[in-house]
Structure 1
Amino acid sequence: MTDTDVEVLWRPDPTRDNGMLAFRSWLREERGHDFASYEDLWQWSVSDLEGFWDAIAAYFDIAFHAPPSRVLASSAMPGATWFPGATLNYAEHALRKGADDDLAVIFHREDGLSAHLTFGVLRTRVAAFRAALVSLGVTSGDRVVGLVPNSPEALIAFLAAASLGATWSSCSPDFGARAVADRFTQISPTVFVAVSGYVYNGRSFDTRPVVEEIRSQIPSLRATVLIDYLDNGAALDDTVSWSSLMSSFAGSALDFTPVPFDHPLWILYSSGTTGLPKGIVQGHGGIVLEHVKMLALHSDLGPGDRFFWFTTTGWMMWNYLVSGLLVGTTIVLFDGSPAHPDLNVLWHLAEQHRVTYFGTSAPYVQSCLKEGLTPSSRYDLTGLRVVGSTGAPLTPEGFRWIASAVGKDVQIASVSGGTDLCTAFVAASPDRPVWLGELSCRALGAAVEAFDESGTAVVEQVGELVITAPMPSMPVYFWGDEDGSRLREAYFETYPGIWRHGDWIRITSRGSAVIYGRSDSTLNRGGVRMGTSEFYRVVEGLEGIEDSLVIDTSGAGQSDGELLCFVVLSPGVALSDVEPVLRAELRLNLSPRHVPNRFVAVTEIPRTLNGKKCEVPVKKILAGVAPERAVSIDALRNPAALQPFLDIASG
């Protein structure tokens, strides 16, 4: 296909320089690589891994305390060995860019509390909490965990831990005690940083009972640091006050402990839909390299920009957001509900703080569309250059809404990746057009392909999303997985030596891509495969439908299974009112094969703590798998939502 076959919503401004073009110019002048197009650059980046990642390290002046003996000692997956012999520190890179009076952090809480931290102030506070951690006995290799909202304190605690070579892990304070304990008990932390309460959707919540329950289950703890986050004097026995520690160690010197390239930086978690969540360990060096590449080149961020992504500390996008500091960008932290008092709150935030890059989720965009919001007519968004979207496939209607309601000159950066690598590997680039419904490119250094059933790379066909070459931010290991068997099972069983991510993807002949949702929940009817995202786009676009879940039971051990659609209806709407329209729209927009055998009304759709629909667990339950084997109840936001599916399975 050519550009004219698919509608182009945005094109790069040929008069404006950007980070990707500057990198290509540097490659030409310093390394003798002259690439005529982005696609040529991408091809080189995945075929000459050592040349590309060495160039990234040199271009961004990565501060190695001990130099590497080479770039890539082994390219096996799993088991690739990056930058052997090198030592560095993530926190050093995060805090080295800005001058003392440059703005590092803008914080905004839904109740109006706000703060601005310069790089100088941030460095001072990190130094103080670093010294406090040392006083509590924390050393390199220890784990520091946080039950914290998206706040300056969370950022400071993380950077202080990283500066020591301690490993950070965090959960959002809206997680239940069991869900947090399931994560933190695995990694035996020494210090627990927690808030006494938080605000959300106009209400205040006391988290002290949760903190008590969590720490009672972690015998390895030496100390609990309590943040009086609501400033109401809340205290808790046998804890140390954040404010008193910061006062006691004010004026401490900032230092950074050099650690090996793959030294654990943080531990993220799988969604935990079956069994305990897996602890995904990522290293200092891999994250530094991957994030400077994505943020400075693909996102075109640098000093003077303001980078926002709506997230909590329980989602990898928080880790990605705070890495904006690596490239000298001001990061914008928001804590609260994206819909309080209404959906305009984040667009107002973008106006207030002159946000350059506004990141959100595809469901939020869809909600704004359904509400008929037009942010550009209500707010001054002239500072906005990019709207990023992830978490689910962005529908073509979502693309159109951003172009019309936010701004035709705003780049739409629909991206896809995963917690597993803490990055996007199908993304956008400031020198690539935005085609309707498509992700603009495969990210540099990410050898993403679509595999057919025979394991052959295909173009213009839907296939399994695989990564055929190692990336530095791939997991160093899973926590507690001594023999690596769980890591191999998670990604490398289907195609030995090749990462299978679990999504359906179509790579276009232009090098752009379309994501179709999880490959293990894909609808396969009469040999026609379709991602669930396409189905939801039709169903949830109709008036009267609040939410939906589609399950193809023929893929759950039943060769003659049914296609079932569960819908959450708007108040006052009956299933009989909407079912004829649903059937007609699905037949028209998808295919007759994709009209469900049955529609079932439910009160809510089961979701994980991270907000993902529980497609695969429900599919297993409907296939007769015992619920305790199909899903970890503590990994669910709304466990009671499983009951209708259990009733169907038992009936």
Structure 2
Amino acid sequence: MADALDMTSDECLWTPTKPFAETNIGKFAKFVEEQYGKSFTNYWALHNWSVTKPTVFWAALARHCGLCFARGGPSDSGQPPVVDPDSRPADLPRWFPGAELNYADNLLADWPADKPALLTCREGDAAPTEVVTFGQLRQRTANLQAALLAAGVSRGDRVAGWLPNGAEAVVGLLACAGLGAIWTSASPDFGVQAVLDRFGQVEPAVLLAVDRVRYGGKVHDGLAKAAQAAVKLPSLRQVLVVRGLPGEPGSAGGLPDGDPRFVWYDDAVEAAASPSGQQQPPQLQLTPLPFEQPLYILYSSGTTGPPKCLVHGAGGSLLQHAKEHRLHADLGPADTLFYFTSTGWMMWNWAVSGLAAGAALVLYDGSPLLPSREAVWRLVEACGTTVLGASAKWLAVLEAADFQPPEPPRRLRCLLSTGSPLAASTFRYVYSRLGSDLLLGSITGGTDIVGCFAGSNPTLPVHAGEIQSPNLGMAVQCWDGSGRPVSGERGELVCVRPFPSQPVRFWADEPDGRKYRAAYFSGFGGGVWTHGDFCAVNPRTRGIRMLGRSDGTLNPNGVRFGSAEIYQVSWGIYQVVDAFPEVADSLCVAQTSRRSSDERVLLFLRLADGPSALTPELESRIKSAIRAQLSPRHVPAVVRAAELVPYTFSGKKVELAVRQLLQSEPVLNRNAVANPEALDHFAAMTDLQDY
């Protein structure tokens, strides 16, 4: 078995603290048993039923979670059918045909008016600066809806938010969802061209922008960038400018001269909410809409060309998130969810849906490391956070510093991680420094599905380096190159049955969905969803180990492996730092010979003391560690110092663009890289290009 993987270690770090029946997954299992006469002894029996009986499962899930349908919801009889039970993911089947609901209605309708919904915090805050109740959130949403209607926004129009993670962004999404408009967002750290690459394709009618934000201890001007972008967005009827640092001196100034489209957000909302002679505030509009009604447009990273515009449906996103929040994160009305994210990452969209479970959301804007590494942890405690989420990269930074909070947050019970594979050493770090009783839920999915294929599970143990299980309803398998399911071997992550959060379509795709189909269904005969991730399944625990993107798969001497395997060797910020404190970051890519089909592995290291710190002795130690922990065939042919490692805006390493540069191929979209100057350093390595 050329692709066999050493999975002999089943190091268990956490075991469930609640009996199966007391978890939300267990309560759902009980509901299914009572409604359908089934019997489940454990999670794996429930999962098997969920993927072999998908129409019954998704209907039962919608009923159990109390999703509010205006018409055509799931019934005891199973009619109308939820989805064609014989369909494949590539068939792009229609879900809940004829059904109508409203996403915003499901997030806002059922909770007491005085229950906290949003807790907003900015960099440097020791506690929330504002608490928005569900009653206030409903009225703010209604007020913005009045302003959008005054600007001529109607169903199907796009509204864009170039906003920090704050209340205005959540209100923007909810206002659009209630009206049937389509929301799309980007973070203030995106440059003008990166925003135009995204918003320019979908032609928004209204832009919500921020005048200024604070990040990394500095104030950044957002208004000037919005003015530059608006010139090249002729579709804009209005730009609503949010005051990002209210009450603080040093305003970015007045609105741009000569462009009447720019108005202050507060002024526009107040004018629309209190027109002359009107005594009553605007009423919240929650229009019943088809299950597949477009909710928001998300974007691929765009490192190989213009970002793909992924249109996600309201019903599918809501149902998928309800399952992931309520069952897999055990989330409920007594919880507070704090996901450290920006509005440019799909985890923001994911977190907002937590309102449907009645959870309060912590919205944080700023660096997670200022004024110190303790900043986020102090807010976790101050906000009473029960579920915290962040990127694997942030956890690795804490690991590198061997950081330990002064006091473990008292209410925190679950820590979620995604964005890149979480190394086994980081699992150990979390349990030794951040809390031995936490459920560490490594999750995997992505922008493409605005959700998870696999992730946290309060009913199963946590093993070092592994995602606990596939999520309910997700028929996830690991396939070898011939399309055969494998266990204990490297392979492609595929999903063999449809799921409701597949994109509705790509924006501006061909009528036959050509671009959509090429993105996910071009391999293995075209029927299954091929996600582009390299993985392996532990045959004993059934846990999943993520091994990096499959488009970055390395194949020296016929042995295929993922770049994540190299990153997870014991050095640097991605592993046990005491082993190689000299290494601050790393990038591993494959390079194919110009003269043959041979391939070699190149490892680039960003060193704490600069490029000159890469000595022959250090290189030898690193190669020895790779040889000992993996195999001789994993040892890179070239180890080179790098000044910077390129990352996407969502914190993922940019491997493919570096590989293209080293193959003397053009990089089509530098604007998709958060630090594009990092690419220049690799482009200058002309000596490596002649291979």
Q: TM-score range by the shorter chain?
A: over 0.9
One-letter code aligned to 1:334: Y
Q: CA deviation at 1:523?
A: 2.2
Q: CA deviation at 1:436?
A: 1.5
Q: What does 1:128-167 correspond to in 2, within 5 Å? A: 128-167=143-182
Mapped to 1, the partners of 2:633 and 2:310 lie a distance apart of 39
* Aligned position for 2:197: 182
SS, match of residue 606 in structure 2: strand
CA contact (8 A) 1:179 1:634 kept: yes
* Aligned position for 1:126: 141
* Aligned position for 2:399: 369
Post-superposition CA distance 1:375-417 (Å, at most 9, x none): 2xx0241201011111111111100111111111111101111
1:352 aligns to 2:382 (yes or no): yes
2:514 alignment partner, one of 459, 465, 485: 485
Mapped to 1, the partners of 2:383 and 2:668 lie a distance apart of 41
Mapped to 1, the partners of 2:685 and 2:358 lie a distance apart of 54
SS, match of residue 155 in structure 1: helix
Residues 4 and 463 of structure 1, relative CA distance in 2, 3 Å threshold: closer
* Aligned position for 1:72: 83
Residues 561 and 459 of structure 1, relative CA distance in 2, 3 Å threshold: closer
Q: How many residues end up aligned between the 2 structures?
A: 645
1:610 aligns to 2:650 (yes or no): yes
Q: What does 1:431-450 correspond to in 2, within 5 Å? A: 431-450=459-478
One-letter code aligned to 1:309: Y
CA contact (8 A) 1:226 1:235 kept: no
Mapped to 1, the partners of 2:530 and 2:239 lie a distance apart of 39
Q: TM-score with structure 1 length normalisation? A: 0.96
* Aligned position for 1:9: 13
| Mean Cα deviation higher: 431-440 or 290-299 | 431-440
Residues 506 and 476 of structure 1, relative CA distance in 2, 3 Å threshold: same
Q: CA deviation at 1:609?
A: 2.3
One-letter code aligned to 2:245: L
* Aligned position for 1:599: 639
CA contact (8 A) 2:215 2:366 kept: yes
* Aligned position for 2:64: 59
SS, match of residue 583 in structure 1: helix
Mapped to 1, the partners of 2:661 and 2:416 lie a distance apart of 35
1:24 alignment partner, one of 22, 29, 48: 29
Q: CA deviation at 1:426?
A: 1.0
Report percent identity of matched pairs.
40
CA contact (8 A) 1:351 1:379 kept: no
SS, match of residue 592 in structure 2: helix
Q: TM-score with structure 2 length normalisation? A: 0.90
1:584 alignment partner, one of 624, 630, 636: 624
* Aligned position for 1:39: 44
One-letter code aligned to 2:379: L
1:277 alignment partner, one of 304, 307, 312: 307
Mapped to 2, the partners of 1:261 and 1:288 lie a distance apart of 10
* Aligned position for 1:241: 264
* Aligned position for 1:519: 550
CA contact (8 A) 1:39 1:511 kept: no
Mapped to 1, the partners of 2:591 and 2:10 lie a distance apart of 34
* Aligned position for 2:325: 295
One-letter code aligned to 2:106: H
Mapped to 2, the partners of 1:118 and 1:101 lie a distance apart of 5
Post-superposition CA distance 1:468-497 (Å, at most 9, x none): 111100011100003311111110001211
1:633 aligns to 2:670 (yes or no): yes
1:110 aligns to 2:149 (yes or no): no
One-letter code aligned to 1:518: R
One-letter code aligned to 1:255: Q
SS, match of residue 643 in structure 2: coil
One-letter code aligned to 2:487: V
Q: CA deviation at 1:529?
A: 2.6
One-letter code aligned to 1:332: V
Q: CA deviation at 1:343?
A: 2.1
2:418 alignment partner, one of 390, 410, 431: 390
SS, match of residue 296 in structure 2: strand
Post-superposition CA distance 1:120-153 (Å, at most 9, x none): 1111111111111111111111100010000001
Q: CA deviation at 1:4?
A: 11
2:229 alignment partner, one of 195, 198, 214: 214
1:258 aligns to 2:288 (yes or no): yes
One-letter code aligned to 2:564: S
* Aligned position for 2:367: 337
Residues 90 and 558 of structure 1, relative CA distance in 2, 3 Å threshold: farther
Mapped to 2, the partners of 1:136 and 1:301 lie a distance apart of 37
SS, match of residue 533 in structure 1: helix
Post-superposition CA distance 1:504-532 (Å, at most 9, x none): 11122333211111112122232333221
1:643 aligns to 2:658 (yes or no): no
RMSD: 1.9
1:574 aligns to 2:613 (yes or no): yes
Post-superposition CA distance 1:342-391 (Å, at most 9, x none): 2222112111112101111111111111101112xx02412010111111
Mapped to 1, the partners of 2:110 and 2:537 lie a distance apart of 37
Gaps of 5+ in 2: 74-79, 275-280
SS, match of residue 198 in structure 2: helix
Mapped to 2, the partners of 1:384 and 1:508 lie a distance apart of 29
* Aligned position for 2:492: 464
Mapped to 2, the partners of 1:501 and 1:477 lie a distance apart of 16
* Aligned position for 1:317: 347
| Mean Cα deviation higher: 549-558 or 10-19 | 549-558
SS, match of residue 317 in structure 1: helix
One-letter code aligned to 1:165: G
